[in-house]
């Protein structure tokens, strides 16, 4: 009987610990007007990796170009170009954090070129029709994330960087509206 009572008390205590809500309450902070946007979380699994100015950056660019040659569908190519544009903007962020504004501006120029190519290719895709829903959804998701990130990046920068980021935001929104 004593063993049964001990087991009963032990199980009861364990249940009490496991299922009691306790008086622990977390107060969620109110959102700040300029909330931080983490590019790693927003664009995971993308990371800047090699950036303009690194010795291996040309090899990275060559690899991306070769891979692009094996993407044959126009909507798939738009998807890939938006991915590359996203990579460039993540690289530009890293360069800006590292104080390499000249390289960041050049990277943002490449970013803008990728968006221009995406816009023209999307026009081709619309004419051809039959864009798979999964491709369209992926492009839309990438563009939505880019919009969030570019607004954040524009709020944190000024001068030439802000102008280029704002241009990119305009192109992202134009592409979003055409989907």
Cα–Cα distances in Å, from 26 out to 22, 30, 70, 76?
A: 12, 12, 51, 44
Query: Domain for residue 66, yes or no?
Result: yes
Q: Looking at the predicted structure, is the pLDDT value of residue 33 above 60? A: no
Please state which of the ranges 46-55, 154-163, 165-174 shows the lowest mean pLDDT.
46-55
Query: Domain for residue 61, yes or no?
Result: yes
Query: Domain for residue 44, yes or no?
Result: yes
| Per-residue pLDDT at 25 | 33
Number of domains present in the structure of the chain: 1
Instruction: Tell me the DSSP string of 33-95.
Output: TT----HHHHHTT----S-TTSTTHHHHHHHHHHHHHT--SHHHHHHHHHHHHHHHHHHHHHH
User: pLDDT by residue (tens digit) across 39-91?
Assistant: 888 888 788 889 999 999 999 999 999 999 999 999 999 999 999 999 999 99
**């364990």: which residue's tokens?**
14
Domain that holds residue 48: 36-178
User: pLDDT by residue (tens digit) across 110-132?
Assistant: 999 999 999 999 999 999 888 99
Query: Domain for residue 22, yes or no?
Result: no
What is the C-alpha to C-alpha distance for residues 150 and 174, in angstroms, rounded to an integer? Answer: 14
Share of the chain above pLDDT 70, in %: 81
User: pLDDT by residue (tens digit) across 6-20?
Assistant: 665 556 554 444 444
Q: What is the pTM of this model?
A: 0.79
């Amino acid at each position: 009987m004593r063993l049964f009572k001990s087991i009963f008390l032990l199980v009861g205590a364990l249940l009490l610990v496991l299922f009691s809500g306790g008086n622990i309450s977390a107060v969620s902070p109110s959102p700040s007007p300029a909330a931080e946007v983490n590019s790693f979380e927003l664009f995971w699994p993308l990371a800047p990796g090699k950036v303009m100015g690194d010795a291996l950056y040309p090899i990275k660019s060559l690899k991306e170009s070769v891979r692009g040659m094996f993407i044959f569908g126009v909507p798939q190519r738009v998807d890939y170009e938006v991915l590359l544009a996203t990579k460039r903007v993540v690289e530009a962020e890293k360069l800006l954090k590292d104080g390499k504004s000249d390289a960041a501006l050049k990277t943002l120029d490449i970013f803008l070129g990728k968006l221009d190519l995406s816009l023209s290719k999307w026009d081709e895709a619309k004419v051809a029709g039959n864009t798979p829903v999964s491709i369209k959804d992926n492009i839309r998701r990438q563009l939505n994330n880019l919009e969030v990130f570019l607004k954040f990046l524009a709020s944190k920068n000024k001068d030439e960087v802000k102008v280029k980021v704002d241009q990119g935001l305009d192109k992202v929104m134009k592409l979003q509206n055409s989907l």
